[in-house]
Amino acid sequence: MDRSTTIGLASGFGLIILGILTEGSILAFWSFSSLLIVVGGVLASTLVNFPMDDVFRTADAVRVAFEGRKFDLLARIEMFTMFARRARRNGLLVLDQDIQFIDDRFLKQGMELAIDGTSEDNLKHILEAEIKNLQRRHETGIRVLERMSAYSPAFGMIGTLIGLIIMLGNLDDPSAVGPGMAVALITTFYGSILANLVFTPLAGKLAEYSEKETNEKEMAKQGIISLANGENPRIMERKMLSFVTPKERAEYFRVYGDKAFTAQQEEKVYDHWLSQQKEKWESVISTIPNG
């Protein structure tokens, strides 16, 4: 759950309504035709701007902004060092069963390639292409929201122009100028709010998560390649730790410490981890509706 999105939207709209109520009536700010022009216009331009599929996929992506994503980089580093220690003792193939409960597709498929003995060049090539592809998909969603953010004030202004032209064209009664102007400005008001409280911040949130996910995938890529190369577990751990903040690094050493396990202890750790993964896996599976 990323509560900040919900809190931000709720408090933002709340504040604006509060600001209106302290000075006047909220009714003066309601105009169906203004809403039609702004929201409709933005959607129309977005449809011209993007293939239909990309627009629909963005609706999906926006959910991420509300649900949030957690990346437990430290647990992942610990998992990789465990893998590396096991692979050192028993060969890379032993990991074949370990990875069956990993629920991150990128990680699982990358590990499978490594275990299958894919050459380092090919492994790197494939993992990098996947990360690039992931970014491209993210960027399309961000671009859709950014364009909607740009179209919002534009259609706000177009609506205001419509209001002004009609009002000014029928200027029989000078006292009607004020209210006419007020109505005309409502579309500008709608456009500004949509752009600055909804579309731009949502595009920003998706961009932040995209960056965090890319960082996580880059770290996983590093781990997979180190594993495939049979690199020293400590060097691998150190390389992966350069993807986390100094604070997290200190936390990592505090929690996972410096381990020098016997083979037996290692087995125990592994059994514990495996049972955890299975539980997690089953809880994921159970959320999938039958049918």
Binders in 158-217 for a copy of itself, by CB under 8 A: 158-159, 161-171, 175, 177-179, 181-182, 185-186, 188-189, 192-193, 195-198, 200-202, 204-205, 208-209, 211-212, 215
Minimum Å gap between C-beta 236 and a copy of itself is: 10
Query: Does 135 interact with a copy of itself (rule: CB under 8 A)?
Result: no
Query: Does 24 interact with a copy of itself (rule: CB under 8 A)?
Result: yes
What is the C-alpha to C-alpha distance for residues 133 and 106, in angstroms, rounded to an integer? 12
Instruction: Write the DSSP assignment of 21-43 as a string of letters.
Output: HTTS-GGGG--HHHHIIIIIHHH
Q: Which amino acid is at 120?
A: E
Residue at token pair 């449809």: 47
Contact 61, 214 (CB under 8 A): no
> Could you tell me how many residues make up the chain?
291
**Binding region for a copy of itself (CB under 8 A) out of 77-85, 95-103, 134-142, 280-288:** 134-142
Q: Is the dihedral of CA 247, 248, 249, 251 positive or negative?
A: positive
CA distances from 44 to 74, 135, 141, 191, 203 (A): 45, 26, 17, 14, 19
Minimum Å gap between C-beta 275 and a copy of itself is: 28
In this chain, which of 94, 130, 259, 266 binds a copy of itself, going by CB under 8 A?
A: 130
Query: Does 242 interact with a copy of itself (rule: CB under 8 A)?
Result: yes
What is the C-alpha to C-alpha distance for residues 37 and 158, in angstroms, rounded to an integer? 8
**Binding region for a copy of itself (CB under 8 A) out of 84-92, 155-163, 270-278, 281-289:** 155-163
Rank residues 4 and 265 by Cβ distance to a copy of itself and give the closer one: 4
Minimum Å gap between C-beta 201 and a copy of itself is: 3
Query: Does 256 interact with a copy of itself (rule: CB under 8 A)?
Result: no
Residue 31: φ, ψ to 5°: -150, 115
Q: DSSP state, 176?
A: G
Rank residues 43 and 274 by Cβ distance to a copy of itself and give the closer one: 43
What is the C-alpha to C-alpha distance for residues 225 and 13, in angstroms, rounded to an integer? 48
Query: Does 105 interact with a copy of itself (rule: CB under 8 A)?
Result: yes
Q: Which amino acid is at 151?
A: Y
Query: Does 238 interact with a copy of itself (rule: CB under 8 A)?
Result: yes
Rank residues 51 and 91 by Cβ distance to a copy of itself and give the closer one: 51
